[in-house]
Chains A and B, each alone.
Chain A
């Protein structure tokens, strides 16, 4: 074979050129530290590194987001912690107020304390965050969520929105809780039903025409009769005439009423001016059956929620007491009770669950025609169940009972009663409903204000206190639950955070593996290529020196 002289040059240049391209690229890699200079160097890795860079950037954003979420939740948490303290204070005050040794004045002092706590809670509920947004207003960040219409009557103007923060590609953590969830959605009573003494009939306020208001409250001296009352104004005589439904009346001038008058078992007090009209009439109803006894009802328990959920159970009853002197021992009272459907919308309204007696029509049910409420002499007879102080009142059919409204009924709930109920006293049982914290406190304040230092007032108060304490307890449970939720979300945030940070490290490692230069390898490659280039140059120069012409002279 032969070689053309031009081939020696061409090939030499071609090969040296290739080596130089290699060296140039290696030098470029060494100076940038990047393995992939253009996507063509490693298309798959460079596309993957683009995707991973996005994932990393996103992840970094999630890390920021989690921090933001934790800050917001910490603020909520701190406020809730504060609220818990206040509620516990109120609980303590409530328990304290239950002491029978407290005088009326002392109770009023407790009430003043409670009003202070109430304002503190209202302030907490309207807390703003660093941006001036209300923390507990849901989405309506710049709307003041809790607006007081009157003491104990607070309107929630926020919404139920829960603000959320994206903390991972698939997870949004809620960072806020709406005020309605925290302060409003609190079930009263025992959470399933609530018991209460039937409402007191007094005080009442009326106005005649444009005259000032006239307040009727119970005279501690007694003599009050539950009834409808009418107030007539006669401008000629300048007197009010107050007439009870049974005809008993009392007459007093406006001025006298301003000073306060005790009559008809009531203390009557007027304010402001007398009516300008010639004549005027106003009526008021003070015949709601107030309990006269000392019966105190417990919040009750549902032992079996499945039985309680029986569709027959309309969860609206009253336990009515009947008390007659023992014929054998007139000094001793025989007390019995009945459980009566109290739902005005129910077909069985006013019907005994125990023996089917209908109190509206005073008739026995077909199922139990022998049921009766009078004895042979026509006097009121005992109710179907005998009352024992401190014993349970069970919402199911007991042995020996016949003619039950729902045969074999068992609603799985019970309440217990203590004290001595008077004849006609009754307690209601209704399904629990949401009752906001401010109403609970307001109700209790009202109970404290109206506290009367009699046995009777004591029992009324005690019943109110029981209700309040269980409502406060529910509120506390509610806030603790919310707090636990925040806690677990914070935990989740932390765990997401550490996952995100781990992922960041992992992404960065992968990106580095994909795109970063292995310096040892590159330097070794560089040296090797340099050696090749060197050898090519040297051999080239020696080959091109070899020419026959050098020897021809």
Chain B
């Protein structure tokens, strides 16, 4: 009996002790992360059957279990993955956001300062200080661009560092989980009870893993966890863990990718497969934000540099030379132009210098007789000459001049092939386009091809990266941003240029093997290589190369009908002259004797130059014009008179200032050309010094003094022609049109030699307009004004964004992104806290509760102790009875 009471009391004591221990364990771990409170499962011991019924045998503790809701636990893990992703994305975006934040220190103010400098030069084109200041402002603008770009580059290397660190953390966590799996399996198999604290630790590690990368947990029947990430990569299987690695990307060595390593094989996990967690955040930041932002910044820099250069090359500097490149940046190494000139030959120019920078455009011209080629460097007018007969230009090695190898070749795609030489009198411009910032050959490429990617159209440029793939025999370009594919079949490839999204592709050397790939980063980091090319203020091209004049003289000359001598006026040079250099007076040349003449004012008779000696055919110059009088049918007689009448326009038409429309510059640009109205509605282009009428289509000229039509080389094409005064057409003896005059439309474009002008208003027959080189135009700032207009011209994104607009868009894009992520992150943290609270609601330790449990178990313990005491007393009572 007594034994029973003792037994029961001891069992109660034991149970209370376990209760106290568990409560103490709970209290001790109240602040342990991942700890779930434990409770004891207590029950009555199986009773002893007696005659009087079942007699109780005390209490026993069956289990110590943890309070853990696996479903809520999963919720926390998922929320953790999302929060980790958003928090990390937010923190990276904040870096970029802050970088672009300051309105007074960013790129915008320096861009605006630069264009203020342009305007200042436009107002004072001859002012050296204004020009110097422009160059300084350009330097500081580039520095600003480079600062922003290099900080983006720093963010990029930070991403690599972070990927490496995160992968290390993940490997450590998965290793621990695998180890815990092992322990848990072992412990569980010993008895039916579960090792609560090990389970807690493992669940906590899973939550930690989710902070780095979103993972999927599958619980096995043996209690172990199998863990997967991405599209099924096992990180943990039973007691084994598999490591992740950070490896250099094959298509871009500067980029680290996450790779999965299993059984000695390393496979890159595409970044879009890795979602959630801080790793997902950083990968998404790089792909969706940093790449686009840095490309976008590079695009602004490229657009600015290239469009500014193009306009600058249309100008004329203080030395009277064509403008060169204002900004320096890497250009394509080979400028190739298939189908050049009338013969449609193929022309290539290859830079032989180590660094691909060019200052100038070039021009290659074959002279009128087809004897010599002249290569001109436009910025300084330097020339190199090579004879056609030498064949050097058309040889395989080409002709080297100015650090450029020029080569002409037959174009096989023209049917029938012609060339390889240009036609006599032709000239072709050559310019080098910007090169794509980076073209990276894939590390696994089998071929040795050198792919050249040039920027052919700024307005079509995107902010995406591209991949160029040779599938053999066809080619393919993939736009990474949206995966769009552009197929180039072999025959299209053979017929260049190949242009996609403003990029031009060309293989400079070597061969491709099927499967070869190239990564093309068109604009990323462009600013990095940019500098100001112009150092000499005189080389800032503020003026335009041509000027026009409606205030022209068409100089008519006539011999007096009453002349008795046989002399005739054989030529008038400067048959058309602008106002500049010619005085308006109608002049009479009066022979006072056969060998002498006076130059007189035809209106007043005043002798302006007396007793000039006459030699047949020699020049008589006065007031800016020159005429020749020759003994046609005999010498002039005393009293013979010749009248030189510089006639001004009588119509009311005006000519526009003229713009350069063809790039690269045509070296004939500065050849003076007169636009002469033969009737009020039809005009011809005329050589202003010889009066020859030009056929713009062929370059043939009609010589009014001889009636011949001659070609560029001066060979007579036909004779006996004349100018039909009714139509202005050049006609032969049978009135058949040899070449026709052009119809006049007010404000219509008139283009020749690379310039375009418009004439407006009502011209009269014989009115003449002159297009001539802008010599001495030091006060001219037309090109600076045109450069200034670039600031507000919508150039980018298919002509929808200015430089500033594109930069603002970059800022706005980053801002919008950061803004969204900030909002989502705030919501997600709230959600995480909520789910954590929910989990803790059941599983967390409440100290008050534990305190009350302590009291309960303490009292149970005391009570059981009391029971023993009572049992002892009862036993003593029994013993005392015997005394």
The answer to whether the Cβ of B807 comes within 8 Å of any Cβ in the partner chain is yes
Expressed in whole angstroms, the Cα–Cα distance for A288 and B562 within the complex equals: 12
Identity of the chain A residue whose Cβ is nearest the Cβ of B782 in the assembled complex: A164
Which of the listed residues B579, B648, B813 has the most CB atoms from chain A within 10 Å of its own CB? Answer: B579
**A residues 112-167 touching B (CB-CB < 8 Å):** 131, 133, 137-143, 149-150, 153-166
Whether A50 pairs with B791 at a CB distance below 8 angstroms is no
The segment out of A4-12, A324-332, A389-397, A526-534 that lies at the interface is A4-12
Whether A283 pairs with B593 at a CB distance below 8 angstroms is yes
The answer to whether the Cβ of A61 comes within 8 Å of any Cβ in the partner chain is yes
Q: Would you give the shortest CB distance from A268 to chain B, in whole angstroms?
A: 15
The answer to whether the Cβ of B706 comes within 8 Å of any Cβ in the partner chain is no
Taken residue by residue from 274 to 286, chain A's Cβ proximity to chain B (1 for < 8 Å, 0 otherwise) reads as: 0000001111110
The segment out of A103-111, A205-213, A416-424 that lies at the interface is A205-213
The answer to whether the Cβ of A492 comes within 8 Å of any Cβ in the partner chain is no
Expressed in whole angstroms, the Cα–Cα distance for A320 and B590 within the complex equals: 26
The segment out of A52-60, A257-265, A379-387 that lies at the interface is A52-60
Expressed in whole angstroms, the Cα–Cα distance for A34 and B100 within the complex equals: 15
Q: Is the interface of B mostly helix, strand, loop or mixed?
A: mixed
Q: Would you give the shortest CB distance from A167 to chain B, in whole angstroms?
A: 10
Whether A58 pairs with B580 at a CB distance below 8 angstroms is no
Expressed in whole angstroms, the Cα–Cα distance for A473 and B137 within the complex equals: 51
Expressed in whole angstroms, the Cα–Cα distance for A152 and B774 within the complex equals: 28
Identity of the chain A residue whose Cβ is nearest the Cβ of B813 in the assembled complex: A43
Q: Would you give the shortest CB distance from A343 to chain B, in whole angstroms?
A: 12
Q: Would you give the shortest CB distance from A548 to chain B, in whole angstroms?
A: 4
Identity of the chain B residue whose Cβ is nearest the Cβ of A50 in the assembled complex: B808
Whether B603 pairs with A199 at a CB distance below 8 angstroms is yes
The segment out of B191-199, B216-224, B468-476, B840-848 that lies at the interface is B840-848
Whether B808 pairs with A2 at a CB distance below 8 angstroms is no
Total interface residues on B, using CB and 8 Å?
110
The segment out of B205-213, B487-495, B815-823 that lies at the interface is B815-823
Whether A140 pairs with B777 at a CB distance below 8 angstroms is yes
The answer to whether the Cβ of B592 comes within 8 Å of any Cβ in the partner chain is yes
Q: Give the residues in chain A near B549, CB-CB below 8 Å.
A: 159-160
The segment out of B110-118, B140-148, B499-507, B714-722 that lies at the interface is B110-118
The answer to whether the Cβ of A184 comes within 8 Å of any Cβ in the partner chain is yes
Whether B778 pairs with A140 at a CB distance below 8 angstroms is yes
**A residues 29-64 touching B (CB-CB < 8 Å):** 37-44, 46-51, 53-54, 57-58, 61, 64
Whether B97 pairs with A38 at a CB distance below 8 angstroms is yes
Q: Give the residues in chain B near A38, CB-CB below 8 Å.
A: 94, 97-98, 100-101, 815, 818
The answer to whether the Cβ of B668 comes within 8 Å of any Cβ in the partner chain is no
Which of the listed residues A64, A178, A205 has the most CB atoms from chain B within 10 Å of its own CB? Answer: A205
Whether A207 pairs with B780 at a CB distance below 8 angstroms is no
Taken residue by residue from 806 to 835, chain B's Cβ proximity to chain A (1 for < 8 Å, 0 otherwise) reads as: 011101111111110010000001000100
Whether A40 pairs with B97 at a CB distance below 8 angstroms is yes
Whether B791 pairs with A548 at a CB distance below 8 angstroms is no
Q: Give the residues in chain B near A207, CB-CB below 8 Å.
A: 592, 596, 610-611
Expressed in whole angstroms, the Cα–Cα distance for A4 and B27 within the complex equals: 11
**Among the listed A48, A50, A432, which residue makes an inter-chain contact with B108, where contact means beta carbons less than 8 Å apart?**
A50
Q: Give the residues in chain B near A288, CB-CB below 8 Å.
A: 605
Q: Would you give the shortest CB distance from B510 to chain A, in whole angstroms?
A: 45
Expressed in whole angstroms, the Cα–Cα distance for A435 and B601 within the complex equals: 13
Whether A205 pairs with B598 at a CB distance below 8 angstroms is yes
Whether A133 pairs with B836 at a CB distance below 8 angstroms is no
**Among the listed B584, B812, B841, which residue makes an inter-chain contact with A47, where contact means beta carbons less than 8 Å apart?**
B812
Whether B101 pairs with A153 at a CB distance below 8 angstroms is no
Identity of the chain B residue whose Cβ is nearest the Cβ of A47 in the assembled complex: B812
Q: Give the residues in chain A near B851, CB-CB below 8 Å.
A: 547-549, 552
Identity of the chain B residue whose Cβ is nearest the Cβ of A43 in the assembled complex: B815
**Among the listed A10, A43, A54, A281, which residue makes an inter-chain contact with B819, where contact means beta carbons less than 8 Å apart?**
A43
Whether B610 pairs with A153 at a CB distance below 8 angstroms is no
Q: Are A47 and B808 CB-contacts (below 8 A) given A4-B840, A7-B837, A165-B123? A: yes
Q: Are A57 and B30 CB-contacts (below 8 A) given A43-B819, A153-B585, A160-B579? A: no
Q: Give the residues in chain A near B829, CB-CB below 8 Å.
A: 14
Q: Are A160 and B583 CB-contacts (below 8 A) given A5-B846, A40-B822, A199-B605? A: no
Q: Would you give the shortest CB distance from B837 to chain A, in whole angstroms?
A: 5
Q: Are A139 and B108 CB-contacts (below 8 A) given A43-B812, A157-B581, A446-B606? A: no
Q: Give the residues in chain A near B846, CB-CB below 8 Å.
A: 2-5
**Among the listed A4, A159, A162, A166, which residue makes an inter-chain contact with B789, where contact means beta carbons less than 8 Å apart?**
A166
Expressed in whole angstroms, the Cα–Cα distance for A280 and B638 within the complex equals: 12
**Among the listed B111, B123, B579, B822, which residue makes an inter-chain contact with A156, where contact means beta carbons less than 8 Å apart?**
B579
Identity of the chain B residue whose Cβ is nearest the Cβ of A449 in the assembled complex: B606
The answer to whether the Cβ of A415 comes within 8 Å of any Cβ in the partner chain is no
Q: Would you give the shortest CB distance from B863 to chain A, in whole angstroms?
A: 18
**Among the listed A142, A181, A283, which residue makes an inter-chain contact with B776, where contact means beta carbons less than 8 Å apart?**
A142
Taken residue by residue from 645 to 673, chain B's Cβ proximity to chain A (1 for < 8 Å, 0 otherwise) reads as: 00110100000010000000000000000
Q: Would you give the shortest CB distance from B606 to chain A, in whole angstroms?
A: 6
Whether A552 pairs with B855 at a CB distance below 8 angstroms is yes
Whether B779 pairs with A155 at a CB distance below 8 angstroms is no
Q: Is the interface of A mostly helix, strand, loop or mixed?
A: mixed
The answer to whether the Cβ of A352 comes within 8 Å of any Cβ in the partner chain is no
Q: Give the residues in chain A near B804, CB-CB below 8 Å.
A: 50-51, 54
Identity of the chain A residue whose Cβ is nearest the Cβ of B680 in the assembled complex: A311
Expressed in whole angstroms, the Cα–Cα distance for A180 and B548 within the complex equals: 13
**A residues 179-219 touching B (CB-CB < 8 Å):** 180-181, 184-185, 199-208, 213
Q: Are A139 and B780 CB-contacts (below 8 A) given A11-B837, A166-B122? A: yes
Q: Give the residues in chain A near B112, CB-CB below 8 Å.
A: 53-54, 57-58
Whether A47 pairs with B815 at a CB distance below 8 angstroms is yes
Identity of the chain B residue whose Cβ is nearest the Cβ of A199 in the assembled complex: B605
Identity of the chain B residue whose Cβ is nearest the Cβ of A288 in the assembled complex: B605
Q: Give the residues in chain B near A172, CB-CB below 8 Å.
A: 785
**A residues 529-552 touching B (CB-CB < 8 Å):** 547-549, 552
The answer to whether the Cβ of B103 comes within 8 Å of any Cβ in the partner chain is yes
Expressed in whole angstroms, the Cα–Cα distance for A208 and B819 within the complex equals: 100
Q: Would you give the shortest CB distance from B228 to chain A, in whole angstroms?
A: 30
Q: Are A282 and B593 CB-contacts (below 8 A) given A5-B844, A207-B611, A230-B638? A: yes
The answer to whether the Cβ of B174 comes within 8 Å of any Cβ in the partner chain is no
The answer to whether the Cβ of A436 comes within 8 Å of any Cβ in the partner chain is yes
**Among the listed A4, A163, A284, which residue makes an inter-chain contact with B639, where contact means beta carbons less than 8 Å apart?**
A284
Q: Would you give the shortest CB distance from B221 to chain A, in whole angstroms?
A: 31
Identity of the chain A residue whose Cβ is nearest the Cβ of B809 in the assembled complex: A47
Q: Give the residues in chain A near B123, CB-CB below 8 Å.
A: 65, 68, 165
The answer to whether the Cβ of B607 comes within 8 Å of any Cβ in the partner chain is yes
The answer to whether the Cβ of A236 comes within 8 Å of any Cβ in the partner chain is no
Whether B548 pairs with A6 at a CB distance below 8 angstroms is no
Q: Are A285 and B815 CB-contacts (below 8 A) given A53-B103, A552-B854? A: no
Whether B579 pairs with A180 at a CB distance below 8 angstroms is yes
Expressed in whole angstroms, the Cα–Cα distance for A535 and B73 within the complex equals: 32
The answer to whether the Cβ of A515 comes within 8 Å of any Cβ in the partner chain is yes
Identity of the chain B residue whose Cβ is nearest the Cβ of A443 in the assembled complex: B604
Q: Give the residues in chain B near A44, CB-CB below 8 Å.
A: 812, 815-816
The answer to whether the Cβ of A399 comes within 8 Å of any Cβ in the partner chain is no
Q: Would you give the shortest CB distance from A234 to chain B, in whole angstroms?
A: 15
**A residues 233-283 touching B (CB-CB < 8 Å):** 280-283
**Among the listed A48, A141, A199, A439, which residue makes an inter-chain contact with B778, where contact means beta carbons less than 8 Å apart?**
A141
Expressed in whole angstroms, the Cα–Cα distance for A374 and B379 within the complex equals: 76
Q: Would you give the shortest CB distance from A533 to chain B, in whole angstroms?
A: 17
Q: Give the residues in chain A near B590, CB-CB below 8 Å.
A: 284-285
Whether A51 pairs with B593 at a CB distance below 8 angstroms is no
Q: List 16 A-B contacts (CB under 8 A).
A: A38-B101, A40-B818, A40-B822, A41-B815, A42-B819, A47-B808, A47-B815, A48-B808, A50-B106, A58-B115, A138-B547, A140-B775, A164-B785, A199-B605, A206-B610, A439-B584
- The 4 A-B pairs of least Cβ separation, nearest first, read A4-B844, A141-B779, A43-B815, A39-B815
Q: Give 9 A-B pairs besides A43-B811, A50-B807, A162-B657 with Cβ atoms closer than 8 angstroms.
A: A6-B845, A14-B829, A40-B93, A46-B812, A139-B777, A160-B548, A161-B774, A181-B551, A548-B848
